[in-house]
């Protein structure tokens, strides 16, 4: 009888010792130093701050914001029988959202190869007077016009580069709607100063290769 009791006591001691050993390994494993996570140093793709348009046919290049839409099939149709061809960049729709600015507002570079005198007024349908302006070492002949109808307003400014051949000009075409046509608080007046500033920055990058 005593022998069986002795064996039971020994067996209990062995089981308890085994349990204590495995418990010790678990505790030590929990405090063991873990390998540092491997850092992914792969550079994230960067978003270009500007895009560049270049045309050997037109002999021009310029930079524009990546959110603008490029239209290489552009033609100014203010002169129905004599459209003026060129290239345009249209503002993003988000720039007009919530404002009275229309999303067809754009900047265009146009050319009149047969012009004998490169002045801004030849790009405007109205009878306007062009004035000479010097900016950043470039001499421009500047003409502008405004029109309104059915609650819409159209403002155009043309910067013709004097003595350029072919005659090259930059047109700002700004289409907006009458703010008074909207219920108060539903639409805000667009920031014309900021828009003109963004157009000016694009125009400042225009280079002629011819």
Catalogue all structural domains in the chain, each as residue range(s) with its CATH number: 51-208 (3.40.1000.10)
User: Residue 98 region, left (φ>0) first, then alpha (ψ -120 to 50), else beta?
Assistant: left
Structure tokens at 54: 């270049």
Structure tokens at 100: 């009275």
Distance, CA of 160 to CA of 140 (rounded, Å): 5
Structure tokens at 187: 């639409």
φ, ψ of residue 59 to 5 degrees: the values are: 70, 40
Query: Is residue 146 very low, low, confident or very high in pLDDT (cuts 50, 70, 90)?
Result: very high
Query: Is residue 48 very low, low, confident or very high in pLDDT (cuts 50, 70, 90)?
Result: confident
Structure tokens at 108: 């265009």
Structure tokens at 70: 């490029």
pLDDT over threshold 70, residue 189: yes
62-85: average pLDDT: 97
Distance, CA of 59 to CA of 124 (rounded, Å): 23
């Amino acid at each position: 009888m005593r022998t069986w009791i002795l064996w039971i006591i020994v067996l209990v001691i062995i089981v308890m010792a085994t349990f204590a050993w495995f418990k010790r390994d678990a505790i030590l494993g929990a405090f063991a130093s873990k390998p540092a996570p491997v850092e992914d140093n792969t550079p994230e793709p960067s978003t270009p701050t500007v895009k560049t348009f270049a045309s050997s046919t037109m002999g021009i290049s310029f930079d524009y914001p990546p959110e603008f839409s490029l239209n290489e099939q552009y033609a100014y149709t203010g002169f129905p029988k004599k459209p003026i061809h060129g290239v345009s960049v249209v503002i993003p729709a988000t720039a007009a959202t919530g404002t009275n600015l229309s999303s067809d507002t754009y900047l265009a570079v146009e050319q009149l190869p047969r012009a004998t005198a490169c002045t801004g007024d030849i790009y405007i349908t109205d009878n306007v007077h062009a004035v000479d302006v010097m900016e950043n070492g470039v001499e421009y002949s500047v003409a502008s016009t405004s029109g309104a109808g059915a609650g819409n307003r159209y403002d155009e400014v043309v910067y013709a580069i004097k003595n350029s051949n072919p005659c090259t000009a930059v047109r700002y075409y700004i289409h907006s709607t009458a703010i008074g046509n909207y219920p108060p608080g539903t639409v805000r007046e667009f920031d014309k100063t900021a828009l003109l500033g963004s157009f000016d920055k694009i125009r400042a990058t225009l280079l002629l290769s011819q």
